[in-house]
Amino acid sequence: MKKDLSQFGIVGLGTMGSALARNIESRGLRVSVYNRHADKTAAFLKSYPDSGFTGSKSLRTFALSLATPRKIMLMVDAGPAVDAVIASLLPHLQKGDIIVDGGNSHYRDTQRREKALSEKSIFFIGCGVSGGEEGALKGPSLMPGGNAAAYKKVAPVFKAIAAKDFSGEPCVTRVGANGAGHYVKMVHNGIEYGIMQLLAETYHLLSTVYGMPPPRIAQMFASWNRGKHHSYLFEIVQHVLLAQDDTKKGYLINAISDVAAAKGTGMWASLDALDRGVPVPTITEAVYARYISADKTRRAVLQKKYSHSYRRNGLPNNPADLIGDALYAAIISTFAQGYDLIARAAQEEKWQINLAEISRIWEGGCIIRAKLLKTFHAAFAASPHAHLFETKQVQSLVQRHAPKLALFVSGANSSGIPLPAFSSSLYYYESIREHRLPSNLIQGLRDYFGAHGFERTDRSGTFHADWK
């Protein structure tokens, strides 16, 4: 390898691409960078004049600046932009080079790209990256999926830049073949949706029903975060609640519009779960909650037609312990749904995903990192193919906290505020543990009007009844 050639390349110098490039370079590696807008590349190089970066104005010179086999990470918008960059890069690559897509691409696109590039003897890795700008710079959680031999070539770089788990090991592992990495990142984002909705509902209840100001709510989250809830999201919610508005007196949270944006990964997880027949109610309700929030005009009209007051019936005067326990059960339920979806996809796609390893690499760097993941890691290490609720480590937690979730939902549902994530988390737990559900009536009705047939509990086969 020529001394002046770079060991790694980054295409795309947006927020995440710039941060990842700086992270890699800080580990003593020379990094080539390219952005389709040359002025952005120039500005980046000017900001770090004494660093080991090589900038290029064309993909040809970018490719020539890299040692072979080339290791190139794309940090561009998911969708057509990824295909366009790949098409532009291909004439400058050779057999054995490796392209890594570090964006939030749909896993089906990753499977398609991996297949097409493998036919040209180019390796393609779809890598989920979680942690935001700070994580990308200081240590993200990385979820790569693709060819095992190709992963071994990029693994030293990934292990160097990744966050550390609770044991000090890098938060990266080869998740599985082709689209497995982007699939796991998609579900990670779905779980993230669910947990954030739970936090939002907690804030809503405390601010409206209990009339607590932002500092008091932040104090409650701080108390929870010092214990079993210790996590990144519980930490940053305090900063969001306490931030001052720099344009007028007061807290910024009170001036933020209640219309929540979404990039689509939560929806992807819900749609994929529907396709596979896996229930993920908390994740899906979190997606729906964002859609309802976006319907601001209609909500304003209907509020005038259906005025109501907030009530505290059935809720304690000091709700910290009850809500804290209810949150704990609901978050476990949300993770259980996500893990179950990953397990089903792994089975159907033949990915051989290790859920203990997924839990481990989520322990650091990523948005959903939490103390709970240490328990999940141990649970799946002991019972690799079990549902999370079936594991010994989690069963005791659920049995202890689920009754508090039921008590909280019972009281809070009469308060006058919507609680879709809490309610669906409880619904999932109550349903998944129920030996006999009322679906027998549904089967009877279907057979009545459509002659669809039904199965019996006392003998095998499909039956039809003469209902009239």
Binding annotation for substrate: 104, 130-132, 188-189, 193, 263, 290, 446, 452
Q: Which residue among the candidates 114, 192, 201, 349 is catalytic per the annotation?
A: 192
Distance CA 363, CA 377 (A): 9
Beginning with the edge strand found earlier in the chain, give each strand of the sheet holding 98-101 in spatial order.
53-55, 31-34, 8-11, 71-74, 98-101, 123-130, 141-145
The residues facing 8 across adjacent strands are: 31
83 burial (CB, 10 Å; 0-12 / 13-18 / 19+) is middle
Q: Which residues have a Cβ under 8 Å from the Cβ of 12 and sit 6 or more positions away?
A: 34, 35, 74, 75, 76, 85
Q: Which residue among the candidates 25, 40, 114, 185 is catalytic per the annotation?
A: 185
Active site residue 235: no
Q: Residues forming the annotated binding site?
A: 104, 130-132, 188-189, 193, 263, 290, 446, 452
Cis peptide before 69 (omega within 30 of 0): yes
Nearest to 9 by CA among 64, 90, 46: 64
Nearest to 286 by CA among 326, 222, 337, 252: 337
Active site residue 185: yes
Catalytic residues: 185, 192
